[in-house]
Chains A and B, each alone.
Chain A
Amino acid sequence: MQEKKLGDYIVTVDKINKTFPNGVCALRDFSTRIRRSEVVVVIGPSGSGKSTFLRCLNGLEEIDSGSIVIDGVPLDENKKNRWEIRKEVGMVFQSFNLFPHKNVLANITLAPRLVRKKSNDEATQMAMDLLGKVNIPEKADSYPSQLSGGQQQRVAIARALAMHPKVMMFDEATSALDPEMIGEVLDVMKNLAGEGMTMIVVTHEMGFAREVSDRVIFMEDGYIVEEGTAEHFFTNPQKERTKLFLSQIL
């Protein structure tokens, strides 16, 4: 992989805690810092708090304590700050969550028009560029239900990119896909990483982690068990728990 220059810290997470109303503790004093253009892959067994971590970063879940700062904006009670962060952090979901009553073009242009106040022409132009980038320009007029899973997820990525986010988060973006469609989505994600997008990726695709990531975080029970560069992580894991997990998954 080519050498890549990482920027200053864009995401700072300091000792966040999250316990769900049903008593499940998802994050315990979780801290990490992420640099501009860094690709961070978060792995771990199910229920380890990976998704909760992502969901806290854009305010989908409330943290109980600790602090989150994204590009200088703290995620606090201030509504304006929260809105700022929602705009600047793109998210791709496991279940795509496309808007089923709108066609592909409208799915992508809606947010730029409503939130960024772009003109219709400008938003459409940008949407077509993005559809080209995710390799499905011919599907602009289709409805989500007419697309395959892989195509839907690529539309979802284009939809998030249309907001020009500073950070992109992927919450098990390929887990709901048929095996032959995983590749096309991962390719789009790889290209995105190559363009210098800051990415936080929760995934079970170890190939992707090894090939693209700058850092791998292994979580369990809301803690970081181990973290390090992909190479270090996969070839020379230190902790017993990490070794066991890798032996099960690889």
Chain B
Amino acid sequence: MSHSYKHGWLKLKRSVVMDVTKFLMVVAVLIWVMARGTQRLPLMFGLVMTFRITAWGLVLSMTIGLVTALLRLSNSLFARIVARGYLELIRNTPLLVQIFFLYFVLAPIIGLSRLSAGVIALSLFEGAYASEIFRAGIVSIHKGQWEASHSLGFNIFDTYRCIILPQAIRRILPPLTSQAISLIKDSALVSTIAIYDLTMEGRAVIAETFLTFEIWFTIAFMYLVITITLSIVVNFLENRFRIQT
């Protein structure tokens, strides 16, 4: 029984790896062709900036999301109130207003750079949504798992780390991916505080060349490539997790 099971896993792993590799190669070639063909290097600079923003944003928003979820599920009333307050405040105001507030009001006071202000605003916004996803995932784990951990003497940290989160992560990966994709798309909003990301570079290029159609089309396509790449990587992860169970 365990033999066939291992065999199945190898077969699946190989085919997925092949698919992902092929896809990444196609993406690389497309980006190369775009860069060569259009001779629009500013767009590539913008792409790199968008990558930087989303990479930081993903790390920060996932951390904020997880911490907020744990606070909301904690026994401390104070922690629950703080987490709930943050969630409602962020979720019920527009991201654009938050970005402006952070950049024009808070950044001069606490000395944040343009990029930090953008990344922090984005992370706080997406983190609020991510926290609800984490919380749903954690709550969905059967309470018997908590009771078993309790009766074996685990502390709360070990229970989360070894028992609850590894099981929850499998369930929340799909909605978390949607959230990550939102983050990538929402990162275009930081162009409003003159961060030269993909969207901002695009606007600059259009201002010089008046190639409105071509440039916006290219930019949309580039965002699409990033988000689809992410979806496929997560899909791969999902298969991996599922097979191990």
Contact = CB atoms under 8 A, between A and B. Distances in A.
Interface stretch (B54-62, B149-157, B200-208): B149-157
Nearest to B159: A114
Given A58-B150, A101-B167, A101-B170, 10 more contacts: A58-B151, A60-B147, A86-B153, A95-B144, A97-B144, A97-B148, A101-B245, A110-B162, A111-B152, A142-B2
A26 B7 CA distance: 51
Contacts of B150: 58-60, 86
A159 B167 contact: no
Given A100-B245, A101-B167, A115 B2 contact: no
B1 A60 contact: no
A189 interface: no
B151 A89 contact: yes
Interface string B116-157: 000000000000000000000000001011011011111100
B9 to A, nearest CB: 12
Given A101-B166, A141-B2, A142-B2, A93 B152 contact: no
Is the interface on chain A under 10, 10 to 19, 20 to 34, or 35 or more residues? 20 to 34
Nearest to B161: A114
A89 B166 CA distance: 26
A146 interface: yes
Interface string B89-117: 00000000000000000000000000000
Interface in B163-181: 163, 166-167, 170
B158 interface: yes
A90 interface: yes
B244 interface: yes
B229 to A, nearest CB: 27
